[in-house]
């Protein structure tokens, strides 16, 4: 609204209008710059929050993968023991 008033003054008063128009442009430029910087800060904050959430999710997935890998490793060890025992039983039956 202030810009519209300043534009009318600029049209009506010549040199005074040029000065008022320059001031109006200066105000608009500053307002744009400040809003741009605040928006950049907002975007950075949002990015940092999303990054923290992703980091937590990655850590949870890594823990889950580690747990599953340990379970699989234990299952394979148990299968190996069972297979060795069965093999020994078969060998002992064949010797008899």
- pTM for the predicted model, two decimal places: 0.49
User: Strand locations in 1-96, DSSP E?
Assistant: none
Supply the pLDDT for residue 16: 61
Would you state the pLDDT for residue 52?
Answer: 93
Is there a contact between 24 and 7 (Cβ–Cβ < 8 Å)? yes
Domain boundaries, the chain: 2-95
> Can you tell me the mean pLDDT for 40-52?
87
Residues 6+ apart with CB under 8 A from 3: 24, 27, 28
Q: Using CA atoms, how far apart are residues 61 and 48, in angstroms rounded to an integer?
A: 20
DSSP state of 13: S
């Amino acid at each position: 609204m202030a810009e519209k008033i300043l534009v009318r003054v600029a049209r009506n008063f010549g040199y005074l209008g040029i000065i008022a128009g320059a001031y109006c442009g200066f105000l608009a430029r500053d307002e744009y710059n400040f809003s741009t910087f605040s928006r950049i800060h907002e975007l950075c904050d949002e990015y940092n929050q999303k990054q923290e959430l992703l980091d937590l999710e990655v850590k949870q997935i890594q823990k889950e993968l580690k747990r599953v890998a340990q379970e699989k490793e234990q299952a394979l060890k148990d299968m190996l023991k069972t297979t060795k025992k069965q093999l020994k039983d078969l060998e002992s039956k064949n010797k008899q």
